[in-house]
Structure 1
Amino acid sequence: MVLLPLLDNIINIDSINIGKGRIKPQVPGTKVVFCMQNVKTVPGTFEEHAFFWQPPGFSAMLLMDQIPCVRRVKSAQSWGNDGSPALWEIASTRRKYHVHRRPYMKESHGALQGDMGLPRLLALIFIPTALATAAYVLAGLVQQAIPSLLLFFLVATLILFPIELGVVLRASKRYFGSYSLRSAFANHNHMPWWKVLAYAVVLFGYAGLMSAAIGPLERMVAAPLADKLYSSIPAYFNWDNLEYLRNYPKGVLLITCIAFLAFNVVVGPVVEELFFRGYLTSRIGRFGKWSPVIVTVLFSLYHLWLPFNNLFRILVFLPAAYVAWRQKNIYIAIVFHCLCNLISTIGFIVALYAV
């Protein structure tokens, strides 16, 4: 398992009696790592991930974020450093522990660290999207042989999505030992598919209400600024200018619509949710319930190529982000995002061919 590096809070638990379970160190005297996930506790106690670490010659320690006391942990799954699982029970205690700060702890494998700072978070979000947007604008200024929509998807495929997936893959390698999407599922719980769909459909219904109530209002308020912006840039970049888009050959339009369906309905939502709701939300876990709020606001602002829908995006995606975070299931956000983009994409294609 990966032990969190740079942990600040270490709580001594010498007096806690450990019941069921056993650990078989491969080499006597080597450190033993325990990991408890999805811990169930009685009301008033913590319900977070807990980590145990016992280095040679030291007493057991409970590593948590700002946990002032522990009353009871019913059970937890743990791993010995030989990889064997064991079930543990920790006896009840009402003792309050003093929190000691430790500036550094050596990184080990098995869990995703949740202490990313805001500067790094902003860099991970806005540097890739700024590069992609700049490349899109520059390419659009030097050529207009293909529609701007198709150009944007090509740029996203070559720049934006690879960077976002690369961050997830690199984090998986760092924390879990191999290149995979595991870091996007670090706080993921299994949920039946029917329940995932039920959550997504309810959230989609809410999004429909926001689309009818907030969408037109925001467009009306932003219209003067939007008109001024679009009047100062080539019509090529205005995705709402369907008349301009219809000037392209039918074959090019067909390819654009197919790419729109593929990237806007499947590829884009999946990559963005893995990156934002999966990886980044876990990495800023120290903000607690504010984590999905922070990520959702930044997710909306990250759409530099669509600057006039931020209020609508935040109001639509925040409930989905919170439910996915609360239920610890990223598939809720993925399915919801795909549904929203599917309807908007179909509406765009119908309007394009409605002549």
Structure 2
Amino acid sequence: MDTATRPPAGSHPTGFVAKLLADRHSVPLSVALHLVPGAAIVAVYAFVAAPLVRAMGAPIFAAWAMALAIVLFPLQLFLLWLGKKRTGRFTMQGVVRYRDKPLTRRTVMWLGGACLVWMTVVSLALTPLDNLVYDWFFTWVDYQGAGPSGTTYLQGYPQSVVLTTLLVCGPFTGFTLPLIEEYYFRGFLLPRLPQLGKWAPIFNTLLFSVYHFWAPWTVLSKLVFLYPGVWLAWKKQDIRISITMHPGTTLLMTVVGIVALASGAASM
């Protein structure tokens, strides 16, 4: 442990905090840490966000954005709090790994950019697979607006309302919240599975896909389009690759969607 991450004298995390900060999480603990945030998001949506958004008359997409924010922002604060337990100050140092920047910016740009293109193209190309899985197994899911298309949560509202919703939620769902997910899933959880060896990125990608309990029909497609970026972040120990891929893709799709709606090139 270097001096930057050594806890202050007399301060040694114990109990459950020590287990969280350990270099290795047990598989059952890791499964719980992957999935509990997703369950919390669904609970916040059902009991808080959805009733509020329906009362406002806004697209139900806003309720999911709200639920994600209510869970993920405290999760980010939790990572900083763990940093305080380890170093004596609020920081992600020593908690979120793969941040030592072992690769050059040029390498990150090329690898991350390739993963961004992969995720964008493949996620769109696998929409028919999502449709098939939804029709076969998940038509019973009764979330308002549930469906294989990523736009079903926005349909049925005036275009001006949809555009306003995207402008308000876009900075969060388009970049900030996916960035927090990367810090948590790829920077905090993935490096603490050394006992799984080469299976660690597969395990992480699978559980991250399942974590999206609000869209279980997308698990298979997520495995395909997320895995290359997760594997590269693990292999190269540089989280910037998966950040470029995941938040980069969601930001790109959000901006393209907003521009298309605003220009009249697309309609809901």
Place the TM-score, normalised by the shorter chain, in its bin.
0.7 to 0.9
Q: Kindly tell me: are residues 167 and 183 of structure 1, through their superposed partners in 2, closer, same or farther at Cα, counting changes over 3 Å?
A: farther
Quote the offset at 1:122 in angstroms. 2.4
Match of 1:25 in 2: none
In the alignment of these two chains, the number of paired residues is 247
Work out whether residues 96 and 184 of structure 2, in 8 Å CA contact, stay in contact via their aligned partners in 1. Answer: no
In structure 2, what is the Cα distance between the partners aligned to 1:262 and 1:127? 24
Quote the offset at 1:287 in angstroms. 2.1
Work out whether residues 59 and 157 of structure 2, in 8 Å CA contact, stay in contact via their aligned partners in 1. Answer: yes
Quote the offset at 1:221 in angstroms. 3.7
Work out whether residues 62 and 165 of structure 2, in 8 Å CA contact, stay in contact via their aligned partners in 1. Answer: yes
1:147 equivalent in alignment to 2:59 = yes
Q: Kindly tell me: are residues 188 and 259 of structure 1, through their superposed partners in 2, closer, same or farther at Cα, counting changes over 3 Å?
A: same
1:268-287 equivalent positions in 2, closer than 5 A: 268-287=177-196
1:120 equivalent in alignment to 2:29 = yes
Structure with bigger helix share is 2
Match of 1:336 in 2: 245
Match of 1:183 in 2: 94
- The gaps in structure 2 that reach 5 residues or longer are none
Question: Any idea what SS the aligned residue of 1:182 has?
Answer: coil
TM-score by length of 1: 0.61
Quote the offset at 1:201 in angstroms. 1.2
Report 1 or 2 for greater relative contact order, CA contacts < 8 Å, sequence distance ≥ 6: 2
In structure 2, what is the Cα distance between the partners aligned to 1:306 and 1:222? 9
Q: Kindly tell me: are residues 173 and 305 of structure 1, through their superposed partners in 2, closer, same or farther at Cα, counting changes over 3 Å?
A: same
Quote the offset at 1:305 in angstroms. 1.3
In structure 1, what is the Cα distance between the partners aligned to 2:73 and 2:153? 29
Cα RMSD for the two superposed structures: 3.1
Match of 2:204 in 1: 295
Question: Any idea what SS the aligned residue of 1:183 has?
Answer: coil
In structure 1, what is the Cα distance between the partners aligned to 2:82 and 2:95? 9
Q: Kindly tell me: are residues 127 and 351 of structure 1, through their superposed partners in 2, closer, same or farther at Cα, counting changes over 3 Å?
A: same
In structure 2, what is the Cα distance between the partners aligned to 1:255 and 1:183? 39
Match of 1:312 in 2: 221
Q: Kindly tell me: are residues 218 and 322 of structure 1, through their superposed partners in 2, closer, same or farther at Cα, counting changes over 3 Å?
A: same
In structure 1, what is the Cα distance between the partners aligned to 2:198 and 2:88? 29
Match of 1:223 in 2: 135
Structure with bigger strand share is 1
Q: Kindly tell me: are residues 257 and 233 of structure 1, through their superposed partners in 2, closer, same or farther at Cα, counting changes over 3 Å?
A: closer
Match of 1:263 in 2: 172
Work out whether residues 99 and 238 of structure 2, in 8 Å CA contact, stay in contact via their aligned partners in 1. Answer: yes
Cα offsets for 1:224-274 (capped at 9, x unmatched): 444x336x5544x56515441337xx3x43431113320122111210000
Match of 2:72 in 1: 161
Instruction: Pick which of 191-200 and 330-339 moved more.
Output: 191-200
AA aligned opposite 1:310: V
Work out whether residues 324 and 330 of structure 1, in 8 Å CA contact, stay in contact via their aligned partners in 2. Answer: yes
Match of 2:254 in 1: 345
Q: Kindly tell me: are residues 233 and 174 of structure 1, through their superposed partners in 2, closer, same or farther at Cα, counting changes over 3 Å?
A: closer
In structure 2, what is the Cα distance between the partners aligned to 1:215 and 1:328? 31
Match of 1:206 in 2: 118
Question: Any idea what SS the aligned residue of 1:245 has?
Answer: coil
In structure 2, what is the Cα distance between the partners aligned to 1:233 and 1:153? 14
TM-score by length of 2: 0.78
Quote the offset at 1:136 in angstroms. 0.7
AA aligned opposite 1:336: M
AA aligned opposite 1:177: G
1:4-19 equivalent positions in 2, closer than 5 A: none
